């Protein structure tokens, strides 16, 4: 009886292990950025021509000119392009950010970025809130979340920025509020899976410890973060 029980438990453990493994999606390699990550299950790449088309639509919708440079996009297979949920990837900077600056991220005032979004967006937000940036020195990742109500639709977004010796790449995850509650674990799994090549992995330098470097302005990231997700709602309803 004990042997049968132990065997059943072992079979259950193997089943759960296999189930856990199969919940992972496709592994993606970004050759130019030298990054590797795993997509949520059932997600596929958005064609580059669709990304370029959407960026043009966004730029034409704004009250004032503003350039976006999203290089990659991914979403659930079978849905219309840029249907919620989806993610966009933007190589933000081409130079290393000093660790002294990274540790000051929670002190950055994001209100100028919020005001700029309201100014550029073609319609007014019913509400908009952005969490302050946080930096995890263990993973070398920058994090934040946002919530917005736009044309009566509640939206949520997750931002993760991967820092390397060669620069920073931003991963933006967009969803409706209901979707976000369910998909946030999958978004986090994908964000945490982002791995740079060993040669460009972020390292602490001597000057990071002793230098008091000028804090960078990350407010512009808010524009890249919120507007593409919001504009999808506007273009769908307009």
Return all residues near 9 (Cβ < 8 A) that are at least 6 apart.
none
* Residue from 34, 8, 38 nearest 20 by CA: 38
Residue 116 DSSP class? H
Q: Is the pTM of this model over 0.95?
A: no
Sheet holding 27-30, edge to edge: 27-30, 35-38, 195-196
Convert 172-207 into a string of H (helix), E (strand) and C (coil): EEEEEHHHHHHHHHHHHHHHHHCEECHHHECCCCHH
Q: What is the DSSP string of 120-173?
A: HSSS--SEEEEPPPEEETTTTEEEEEEEEEETTEEEEEEEEEEEETTEEEEEEE
Higher pLDDT, 162 or 101: 162
- Say if residue 121's pLDDT is above 90: no
Higher pLDDT, 165 or 22: 165
CATH fold group of domain 35-233:
Protein Transport Mog1p; Chain A (3.40.1000)
Q: Is the peptide bond before 85 cis (omega within 30 degrees of 0)?
A: yes
Helix (H) or strand (E) holding 90: strand 86-93
Higher pLDDT, 209 or 142: 142
* Residue from 177, 182, 159, 200 nearest 31 by CA: 200
Q: In sequence order, what are the beta bridge partners of 128?
A: 148
- Say if residue 125's pLDDT is above 80: no
Note the pLDDT of residue 89: 95
- Say if residue 17's pLDDT is above 80: no
What are 28-41's pLDDT values in tens digits?
A: 999 999 999 999 99
Say if residues 58 and 68 touch (Cβ distance below 8 Å): yes
What are 45-89's pLDDT values in tens digits?
A: 999 999 999 888 877 777 777 777 889 999 999 999 999 999 999
């Amino acid at each position: 009886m004990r042997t049968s029980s132990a065997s059943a438990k072992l079979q259950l453990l193997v089943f759960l292990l296999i189930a856990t493994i199969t919940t992972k999606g496709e592994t993606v390699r970004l050759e130019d950025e030298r990054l590797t990550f795993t997509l949520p299950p059932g997600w596929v790449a958005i064609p580059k021509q669709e990304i370029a088309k959407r960026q043009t639509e966004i730029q034409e919708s704004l009250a004032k000119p503003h350039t976006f440079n999203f290089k990659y996009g991914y979403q659930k297979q079978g849905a219309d392009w840029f249907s919620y949920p989806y993610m966009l990837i933007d190589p933000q900077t081409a130079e290393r950010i000093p660790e002294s600056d990274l540790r000051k991220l929670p002190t950055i005032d994001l209100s100028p970025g919020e005001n700029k979004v309201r100014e550029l967006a073609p319609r007014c937000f019913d509400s908009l809130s952005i969490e302050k940036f946080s930096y995890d020195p263990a993973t070398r990742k920058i994090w934040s979340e946002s919530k917005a109500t736009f044309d009566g639709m509640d939206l949520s977004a997750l931002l993760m920025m991967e820092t390397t010796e060669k620069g920073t790449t931003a991963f933006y995850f967009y969803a409706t509020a209901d979707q976000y509650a369910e998909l946030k674990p999958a978004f986090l799994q994908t964000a945490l899976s982002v791995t740079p090549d060993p040669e460009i992995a972020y390292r602490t330098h001597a000057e990071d410890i002793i230098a008091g470097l000028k804090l960078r302005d990350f407010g512009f990231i808010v524009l890249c973060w919120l507007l593409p997700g919001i504009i999808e709602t506007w273009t769908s309803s307009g």
